[in-house]
Amino acid sequence: MFWLKTELWTAEVVYTGFGTPMLHGALAVQGGTVVGQGSLEELKARFPQAEVIHKGKALFPPPVNAHTHLDLSLHPLYQGPFSGFIPHVVAHREKRELRAAQRGLEELVQSGVGAFADIVFQDEVMEFLLQESPLPGIAFYEVFAPDPQDAEEMFQKVRAKVEAWRKREGRVRIGLSPHAPYSVSPPLLQKLAHYAHTQGLPLMVHAAESREEVAFLRTGEGPLAGVYRRFSRTPWKAPGLTPVRYLQTLGVLGPDTVLVHGVHVDEEEVRMVADSGSKVVLCPRSNGNLQVGEAPLGLYARHGVELALGTDSRASSPDLDVKNEALSLWGKAEPRLLVRALTRGGYRALGLPTPRLTRGTPISLVHSLL
C-alpha cells in the first residue's frame, strides 16, 4: 500500500476563493493537489499524521492585477509631485509602443496573475491584446480629450473603434476608459458613460487621485490648470464639485464602473460609490511615488465598496507584481480585506468568477504572500 504524505499549509490568512478569508485556516495538500480546506484545527483532526507547514502571510487563488498600463513598461519610473506625472509620460512618449506592451504582458504573466485590466492607448496594442493575451481580462480603451469642442468628433471615432474591436472579443473583452474627470470634457464624459451603460461596456476612470485634481475641479486652480491649457483651446469651467460628486452628476457611476485610486473621497462620496455598485481599484505604491496620499480603506470597507488592487504602470510603480501592493499595505489594513481585494475584489471588478481552491485543485494555483 502506498500512502501519499499529507501536508497542512497554513498562513495568517487562507482564502479558498469562496466564503470569507480565514484566520487560522489551512489547506490539506497531497502530492501536487489540494485535498481539503478548513480551519487548521479541523484539518489537524482529520489528518493527524500531517506535517504543518507555515506559508507566510497568506494563501489564495491566482491574484488579479486590476489596473495596468502595459504600454508604459519602457518608461522610466517617476517619483515626484502628481502634477509632473503627465508631463513625464508625454516627455517619453516615443517609449509608449507595442514593444513596451509586449514586455509588460510578459511581466504580468510571470507574476502569476489569473486576470488583468489594462488601459490601452494605441490601436496596435489593442490588436495585440485581443490576439495574443494568454490571460483573461479587460482592455479599456483610453480617451484623453479635455477640449469640449472635440467631444462629438471624438465620440464618433471612439465608438467606431470600439464597435469593431468588440466583434473580436475572446479571452480579452473591451472596455472604455475616459482618462480622468479633468482630462475628458464634460460633454464627452457624459456621452461615453451613457454609451457604455447602454451597451454593457465596462468603464474605468482614474478618479480622486490627488489634491491637485480636487482643487482643479472645485476651483479651477492649482498645477493642473497649466497641464490642462497644454491640451485644450477652450478655457476650463470648474464644476465646483469634488471628483466623485462630479462623476455622479455626469452619470459615470454604476455597477460596471471601476474607479481607480479613490484617494481623496469623503464619507458621502464613499456612500455614493457603494450605492452605485461601482468598484474601486487601489494602487498604493503608485500613490506613494506620486505623493498623493493614501486611500481610506477602512471607510470603503465600512460601506461595503468592493475593492481591488492594481500596480498602475511601470512609470509610477517599480514592478507589475500586484502581490507587492498587498504587501505594501500589510499591517496597515485588515489582512483579510487585502486578500479579498487581491483576488475576489479583482475578479468582481472584471466581471469574472473567482477561481476556487478546493479538493482536486493543483497546487500550482495556490499563491502565497511571504
Q: Phi and psi (nearest 5°) for 9?
A: -90, 125
Judge contact between 267 and 242, C-beta under 8 A. Answer: no
In the chain, count of helices (H) and strands (E)? 15, 16
**Residue of this chain nearest to Zn ion (CB atom):** 312
> With binding defined as CB under 5 A, does residue 213 bind Zn ion?
no
Catalytic choice (12, 107, 142, 209): 209
Build a one-symbol-per-residue string for 310-339: x at contacts with Zn ion by CB under 5 A, - elsewhere. Answer: --x---------------------------
Build a one-symbol-per-residue string for 285-314: x at contacts with Zn ion by CB under 5 A, - elsewhere. Answer: ---------------------------x--
Give me the least distance between CB of 274 and Zn ion, in Å please: 22
CA distances from 214 to 223, 246, 248, 254, 263 (A): 11, 10, 15, 21, 10
C-alpha cell, 295: 486611500
Q: Using alpha carbons only, give the angle 42, 45, 51 rounded to the nearest 5 degrees.
A: 100
Give me the least distance between CB of 281 and Zn ion, in Å please: 9
Report d(CA 113, CA 326) in Å as an integer. Answer: 13
Neighbours of 125 (CB within 10 A): 25
Report d(CA 281, CA 316) in Å as an integer. Answer: 15
Which 220-239 positions form the footprint of Zn ion (CB under 5 A)? none
Give me the least distance between CB of 69 and Zn ion, in Å please: 6
Total residues contacting Zn ion by CB under 5 A comes to: 1
- Is 169 among the residues known to form the active site? no
Judge contact between 322 and 310, C-beta under 8 A. Answer: yes
C-alpha cell, 31: 502530492
Give me the least distance between CB of 271 and Zn ion, in Å please: 25
Which 249-278 positions form the footprint of Zn ion (CB under 5 A)? none
Give me the least distance between CB of 236 and Zn ion, in Å please: 22
Closest CA to 28 of 289, 366, 370, 368: 366
Between 50 and 105, whose beta carbon lies closer to Zn ion? 105
The site for Zn ion (CB under 5 A) is made up of 312
Q: Any idea which residues carry the catalytic annotation?
A: 209
